[in-house]
Structure 1
Amino acid sequence: MRRRDFLKVAVAGGAGASLGGRIYPRAAWAQGPIKIGMPAALSGAYAQYGIQAKRAADLFARDVKAKGILGRPVEFIFEDTAGDPATAVRKAQKLVEKDGVKFLTGVALSSEALAVSAKCPEWKVIFMSTINGAGALTAKSFHRYFFRVNTSGPMGARAVSLYLAESPMKRFFALGSDYAWGRDSVASFTSQIMAAKKDIVATEFPPVGTKDFASYIAKIRQSRADGVYLVLPGQDATIYLKQAHQFGLNREVKPIMEILELENMKAVGDAMVGAIGSSRYPFTVDTPKNREFVKRFHELHGLYPDMFDGETYEGLEWLAQVIAKAGTDDVEKVIDAWEDSSYDGLEGPFFMRKCDHQAVQPGFAVECVKDPKYPHPIPKILATYPGEKVTPKCRTEEFS
């Protein structure tokens, strides 16, 4: 993967282009492209997230090739951050100051997102999160230029907790990576599980990038927990699940994932069957719009979309919708158009709260299962919760 990559939407033939029922003359294309910067982890341990964001951008670019946005071509500019916060800030600043982008997205880790987001009020650009889970982004670190289209970590913890409240399991061990997303999600899960009159027997926070989970697996086994709540990104989750299987732990203690990712299911295989968790976007959700999306995605990429393929596509489509609504790519006017707006998402209805720019959307509890129609395990939806039930109170990580 090159560290810098351009993907442009070509000009379509004909007298004009349309979006949202409007007709634009060729002169609109002469205004130049609408630029979207993606400082994404395209290499390193968390490249699967940046690659998902890029796959979504590839499909979105193909889908709007004939019409653009406001009749203007769309240009994605990618920069590889390798999952490092300092690099993410440097690459984002380059995208803003040198390339002239007004919109940033595709940032992978919450540690990167918190660092980049903090600079956006100074840069006067919109940061659209489609991946980042840290609750702080829409709570104590919230600002006008940040929008979160995706499900947050506390929202995922909420969906899992609602499902587990009806489960016979009583005792839980929490294992979260030692950074913002891991700690936020564990704190949220702990609060909600205890409110359901169940117990957290222990918590541990392994460093991001841990390769040997043997000591943690021993502690989990010794705790006699019924389930282990896991908040581990990318390869960390894959490594843990494989090692837990080798030690026979998965037969004794139920794996409960804050995000049950397709990438992990493919990497771990049958050893992951039976794990449960939340899914921010399960490709198996049965809506007409999602069925069409999955078909187009599979035709282009030859695989089924993972969580951040779906959520990034939704973000890009919604961004295009609000730019069209504003009638301009002026950042301040786009912000005003986005606040309190609705969107028909792949999973169902979305609503962007003005108070904290968190998208209210459905939440899902899922299980990893085998299905002969697919070459790998898939997420089976166990329960669906309305957005109002899984979204925190405004600018908090707390639930009513």
Structure 2
Amino acid sequence: MRRTRLAAALAVALGATPAFAADPIRIGEINSYTALAAFTLPYKKGIELALEEINRAGGVLGRPLEVVFRDDGFKPADAARHAEELVTAEKVDLLAGTFSSGTGLAVADYANRQKILFVASEPLSDALVWDKGSRYVFRLRASTAMQAEMLAAEAAKLPATRWATVAPNYEYGTAFVAAFKQALSAKRSDVTWVGEQWPAQGKLDAGATVEGVESAKPQAIFNATFGPDLARFVKEGNSRDLFKGRAVVSALTGEPEYLDPLKEETPEGWIVTGYPWSQIDTEAHRSFRTAYEAKFKESPRLGSVVGYTTIQTIAAALKKAGSTETEKLIAAYRGLEFSSPFGPAKFRAGDHQSTLGAFVGKTAQKDGRGVMVDWRYIDGASVLPSEDEGNRRRPAEARN
């Protein structure tokens, strides 16, 4: 044992990954790698960076971490099928990942039935930890309700009272709109909701959507589209002056995955959540960004941070648990404090939601590309209900 540790220490000192005598700890990772590559490919690179750092430092519990990747194609049925295959055939120790709320809920349901830990990295649906919560599921990113509360705080400062909404017609979109309406209406009793547009995810008809919003004559718009749908909506809206003289609050639009492709079409002054990667000057973020750029020769995306942090929390939980046993990992994740490129956060024991926050700011153009300005980081803990309230929102069998 002493010789193995010395060999590992020497390998780390030489910058190489140490040789391990024990079998790897296997993580089954499911995501929409082909359907939503703009986010998930940087996400995968974040995972690879975390694995390299952890294994170079000796792994966890004397064992290397290994990730087995599967592509769900943005299809809940495929996500559940991959979860089954990863557990039964690949013998993974836990599950992680998923992008959409639909795929996340499908894997969460499988994890609950099969009693295996699932660390949901990206899906934002509140149902994942609240009304469909499970003792086997923990969620990393700030949820729809959390980001809606952040955005509503800024929207409430606007003079607008007539609002229209645009969001994809699936769990993420419907949950985000409901959460934003509730949060803004609680802050402004004079707000009325005059129109809703529900395009199919990935199939937004820009002309019909813009015409539908315009016909409602809103003073402000809440938008939750992303990816190619966002680009179509922005381009068509710009061409028809939809945004002229109207305030827009837009979820996720400040994420470089979705902001960069807009280029000179980037609207100015939208209130957004996102990731101003080039402007964050904390020690934690500088360290992450330097390592990421050195390895991949490109700037990080929000997906990069999410993938990296997901694996770092798994490593921290394994160390705390001292085991790969599911029940010990659940106990370790409850109240787990962890570090991220955004700073420290924790997983709440009451509802298994992470307190990782988000950046809120405004869109602007600089040198022909979109950027975030006037931004600030909002701690996730500040926009969550109490842990007791979060626990009460869960099914009886999932409560602590």
Equivalent residues of 1:140, 1:395 under 8 A apart: no
Alignment equivalent of 1:263, drawn from 247, 252, 257: 257
Q: 2:47 aligns with which of 50, 57, 76?
A: 57
Is the contact made by 1:111 and 1:180 (CA closer than 8 Å) also made in structure 2? Answer: yes
Residue 391 (1) aligns with residue 387 (2): no
Hey, what's the Cα distance between the residues in 2 that align with 1:132 and 1:345? 18
Map of 1:15 onto structure 2 = 7
Q: Which residue number corresponds to residue 48 of structure 1?
A: 38
Residues 229-258 of structure 1: CA distance to partner in whole angstroms, max 9, x if unpaired?
111242222222222223232334333221
Alignment of 1:100-111 (within 5 A): 100-111=91-102
What secondary structure does 1:125 align onto?
coil
**What is the CA–CA distance in structure 1 between the aligned matches of 2:90 and 2:5, rounded to whole Å?**
27
Taking the aligned partners of 1:310 and 1:336, their CA distance within structure 2 comes to: 25
Rounded to whole Å, the distance in 1 between the matches of 2:168 and 2:230 is 10
Name the residue aligned to 1:272: 266
Distance 2:364 2:329 in 1: 41
CA distance in structure 1 between the aligned counterparts of 2:320 and 2:379, rounded to whole angstroms: 26
Separation in 2, partners of 1:280, 1:124: 34
RMSD value, Cα? 2.4
What residue number does 1:344 align with?
339
AA matched with 2:34: S
Q: Tell me, in whole angstroms, the C-alpha distance in 2 between the residues paired with 1:69 and 1:104.
A: 17
Closer/same/farther in 2, CA of residues 281 and 94 from structure 1, 3 Å limit: farther
Q: Which ranges of 4 or more aligned residues in structure 1 deviate by more than 6 Å? A: none
Aligned partner (choices 149, 163, 181) of residue 172 of structure 1: 163
**1:79 match: secondary structure:** strand
Deviation string for 1:118-150 (max 9, x for gaps)? 010232222111210111001111001100111
Alignment-mate amino acid for residue 25 of structure 2:
I
C-alpha distance in structure 2 between counterparts of 1:278 and 1:129, whole Å: 23
Structure 2 distance, partners of 1:132, 1:326, is: 25
Q: Deviation at 1:68?
A: 1.5
Return the TM-score normalized by structure 1: 0.87
SS of 1:77's equivalent in the other structure is: strand
| Aligned residue identity for 1:314 | T
Q: Is 1:77 the equivalent of 2:68?
A: yes
How high is the TM-score relative to the length of structure 2? 0.87
1:275 is displaced (CA, Å) by 4.9
Cα deviation, residue 369, structure 1: 2.7
Task: Indicate how the Cα distance of structure 1 residues 151 and 269 shifts in structure 2: closer, same or farther if over 3 A, else same.
Answer: same
Number of the residue aligned with 2:293: 298
Per the TM alignment, residue 390 of structure 1 is displaced from its structure 2 partner at its CA by: 1.3
Q: CA deviation at 1:376?
A: 3.9
Preserved contact between residue 83 and residue 110 of structure 2 (Cα < 8 Å): no
User: Does structure 1 conserve the Cα–Cα contact (< 8 Å) formed by 2:22 and 2:62?
Assistant: no
What residue in structure 2 maps to residue 367 of structure 1?
362
Residues 1:134 and 2:125 are matched in the alignment: yes
Q: Give the gaps of 5 or more residues in structure 2.
A: 11-17, 395-400
Question: Which whole-Å deviations, capped at 9, do the CAs of 1:180-218 have from their partners, x for residues lacking one?
Answer: 110111001001111222332222221122242211201
The farther-off stretch of 257-266 and 229-238 is: 229-238
Question: Following the alignment from structure 2 to structure 1, what is the Cα–Cα distance between the partners of residues 68 and 93?
Answer: 11
Counterpart in the other structure of 2:321: 326
Q: CA deviation at 1:175?
A: 1.0
**Map 1:102-121 → 2, pairs under 5 A:** 102-121=93-112
**Residue among 59, 80, 99 paired with 1:89:** 80
Identity %: 24
Deviation at 1:263, TM superposition (A): 1.6
Partner of 1:382: 375
Whole-angstrom distance in 2 between the partners of 1:310 and 1:397 = 29
Instruction: Kindly tell me the number of residue pairs found equivalent between the two proteins.
Output: 376
Contact 1:193 / 1:200 at 8 angstroms: preserved in 2? no
CA distance in 1, matches of 2:366, 2:21: 50
Q: Does 1:33 align with 2:27?
A: no
Query: 1:131-173 deviations in whole A, cap 9, x for unaligned?
Result: 1011100111100110011111111111100111223333321
Q: Distance in 2 between matches of 1:288 and 1:169?
A: 39
Aligned to 1:162, the other structure's residue is in SS state: helix
Give the stretch that moved more between structures: 229-238 or 260-269.
Answer: 229-238
Query: 1:216-295, aligned counterparts within 5 Å?
Result: 216-260=209-253, 261-279=255-273, 281-283=275-277, 284-295=279-290
Distance 1:297 1:396, change over 3 A: farther
Alpha carbons 2:32, 2:71 under 8 Å: kept: yes
Query: Could you list the runs of 5+ residues in structure 1 that have no partner in the other structure?
Result: 1-11, 19-25
Deviates more, 1:104-113 or 1:177-186: 104-113
